[in-house]
């Protein structure tokens, strides 16, 4: 009878949703159809249950094809990868033709279909097949219930399922609104105020000013000033750098703080920044500053959320977030000025730090402790590697940067003093240090010393076009036109796009 099949549909659905924790995607009481979802073993399962009498094999095929199209059109269900599609028919009689092979005709490798046809004779067998697929204990649905009891129970079952669907939606919304973004706004204010202060007392684009106020400066760190790893998180190099980082912090910070709450967000942000700063110390000899490491740590926190709530992640931010992460990393690899060590390190550190604090209401002490130990081991290893392996190179490069800045500001005596000290142990930066010192000598009128330095630079780095150009100018000043023309030609050959090099050579020919 019709009432028996309808009751069986809603009783079976009730058990899957209430007892087995399936998520309700859609309920249509009028059509007698329900769509459910469950994530199990890193795979998405979508279950369509319908109360329908199907008489012919072709009719069954058409209905399955329609269901498959509905699934395919819902792109979000595919974002987590492979989808296992289960279709459950509840009917009084089976089709009059052989129908068992229909599911194979429609299935694809990425989205296979499993068919369960629960007619009155095979309900118990097909139900066991369904529950065995999910490794679930079977409910006692097949027990005898009178028609009057069925009619009385149907409104209750439907109401409870609708209520459960509403509760599941509220629960999902509560995940995204757990905390208030108070710390995000505080960090925005702190970063802006520090930037304004640096601009007031100096210049945020000045290497010297940045070092003075706590930028990541490897030589100072190796002399014991490890606090720079933390302070550099709150300094920014110019207004564009500040704007880009604060823009990212506003959007990522509010999302992460709402997901994790204020205190978890604070720990994730700070630990990510420290991890990214130490990664930068290990990989990048440049003077560096900015909140990028901590901000990339927020990417790591959202990726951890994706591990914990795979389907919810891919339905909301999933591929968009992954695309942004890949785009940022790719852009960083193409632009040499970007500190990729801090970015990638911050993201990795953010993921591990999030694993240590976990999501609200999903605490796991043993996993949290393991994540914290991994964090400490990795950050310690990076600090040791940076200290031991990059001591000479980091010192030389940082002093190249510093003396370039000093030359621009006219502090030539200080350039000569710093480069002379650095050249006692220059590593691979001897040519660059000598070139900066030669410029200082030129500006002071010490032409003999400048010429000696430039000749040594060319010996060390024959393809440094700027050294040939400066030598050409120097020889022109000394009246040695032939030598000047030779070096001008060499500079123009090395860098033909530089208009000054070409013009000097044409004037000396």
Active site residues: 292, 343
Which residues, at least 6 apart from 506, have a Cβ–Cβ distance to it below 8 Å?
Answer: none
Q: Are 286 and 401 in contact (CB under 8 A)?
A: yes
**Residue 489, number of CB atoms within 10 A of its CB:** 19
Q: Which residues contact 466 (CB under 8 A, 6 or more apart)?
A: 435, 491
Strand pairing category for 23-28 and 113-118: unpaired
- Residue 24: both structure tokens together: 């309700």
DSSP at 19: I
Q: Distance between CA atoms of 47 and 13, rounded to whole angstroms? A: 10
Q: Supply angle C-alpha 80, 86, 87, rounded to 5.
A: 135
**Degrees, nearest 5: CA angle 41-44-49:** 120
Q: Are 130 and 88 in contact (CB under 8 A)?
A: yes
DSSP string, 380-438: HHHHHHHHHHSHHHHHHHHHHHHHHHHHHHT-HHHHHHHHHHHTTS-GGGHHHHHHHHH
Exposure string of 31-50, with b = 16+ CB inside 10 Å and e = fewer, is: ebbbbbbbbeeeebbbbbbb
Axis-axis angle for helices 340-357, 292-308 (nearest 10): 40
Strand-pairing partners, residue 47, are 36, 86
Helices (H), 239-390: 239-260, 262-283, 292-308, 310-316, 318-334, 340-357, 365-389
Question: Distance between CA 308 and CA 109 in Å, rounded?
Answer: 26
Chain centre distance of CA 234: 21
- List helix spans (H) across 423-508: 430-444, 447-460, 465-478, 481-494, 499-508
For residues 345 and 504, what is the distance between their CA atoms, to the nearest angstrom?
46
Burial of 24 (0-12, 13-18, 19+ CB in 10 A): buried
Do residues 461 and 428 make contact, with C-beta atoms less than 8 angstroms apart?
no
CA 41, CA 204: separation in Å to the nearest integer?
51
């Amino acid at each position: 009878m019709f009432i028996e099949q309808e009751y069986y549909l809603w009783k079976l659905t009730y058990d899957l949703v209430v007892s087995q924790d399936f998520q309700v995607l859609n309920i249509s009481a009028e059509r007698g159809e329900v769509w459910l979802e469950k994530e199990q073993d890193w795979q998405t399962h979508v279950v369509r249950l319908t109360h329908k009498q199907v008489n012919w094999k072709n009719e069954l095929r058409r209905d399955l094809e329609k269901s498959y199209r509905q699934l395919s059109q819902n792109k979000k269900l595919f974002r987590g990868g492979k989808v296992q599609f289960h279709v459950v028919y509840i009917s009084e009689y089976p089709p009059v033709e052989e129908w068992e092979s229909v599911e194979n005709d429609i299935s694809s490798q990425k989205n296979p279909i499993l068919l369960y046809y629960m007619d009155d004779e095979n309900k118990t067998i097909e139900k066991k097949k369904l529950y065995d697929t999910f490794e679930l204990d079977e409910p006692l649905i097949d027990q005898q219930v009178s028609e009057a009891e069925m009619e009385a129970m149907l409104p209750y079952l439907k109401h409870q399922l609708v209520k459960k669907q509403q509760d599941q939606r509220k629960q999902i919304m509560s995940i995204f609104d757990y905390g208030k973004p108070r710390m995000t706004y505080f960090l925005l204010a702190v970063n802006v105020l520090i930037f304004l202060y640096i601009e007031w007392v100096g210049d945020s684009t000045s290497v010297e000013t940045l070092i003075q106020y706590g930028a990541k400066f490897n030589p100072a760190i190796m002399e014991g000033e490890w606090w720079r790893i933390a302070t550099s998180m709150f300094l920014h190099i110019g207004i564009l750098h500040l704007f880009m980082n604060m823009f990212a912090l506003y959007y990522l910070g509010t999302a992460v703080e709402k997901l994790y709450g204020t205190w978890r967000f604070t720990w994730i942000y700070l630990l990510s920044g420290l991890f990214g700063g130490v990664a930068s110390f290990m990989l990048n000899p440049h003077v560096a500053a900015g909140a990028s490491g901590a901000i990339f740590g927020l990417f790591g926190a959202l990726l951890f959320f994706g591990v914990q709530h795979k389907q919810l992640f891919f339905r909301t931010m999933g591929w968009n977030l992954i695309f942004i992460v890949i785009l940022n990393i790719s852009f960083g690899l193409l632009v040499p000025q970007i500190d990729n060590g801090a970015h990638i390190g911050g993201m990795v550190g953010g993921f591990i730090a999030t694993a240590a604090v976990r999501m609200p209401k999903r605490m796991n002490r043993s996993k949290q402790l393991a994540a914290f130990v991994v964090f400490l081991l990795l950050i310690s290893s990076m600090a040791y590697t940076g200290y031991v392996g990059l001591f000479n190179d980091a010192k030389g490069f940082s002093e190249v940067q510093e003396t370039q800045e000093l030359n621009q500001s006219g502090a030539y005596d200080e350039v000569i003093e710093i480069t002379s000290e650095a050249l006692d142990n220059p590593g691979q930066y001897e040519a660059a240090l000598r070139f900066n010192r030669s410029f200082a000598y030129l500006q002071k009128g010490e032409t003999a010393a400048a010429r000696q330095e430039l000749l040594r630079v060319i010996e060390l780095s024959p393809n440094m076009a700027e050294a040939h150009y400066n030598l050409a100018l120097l020889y022109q000043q000394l009246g040695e036109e032939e030598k000047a023309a030779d070096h001008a030609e060499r500079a123009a050959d090395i860098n033909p796009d530089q208009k000054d090099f070409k013009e000097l050579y044409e004037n000396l020919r």
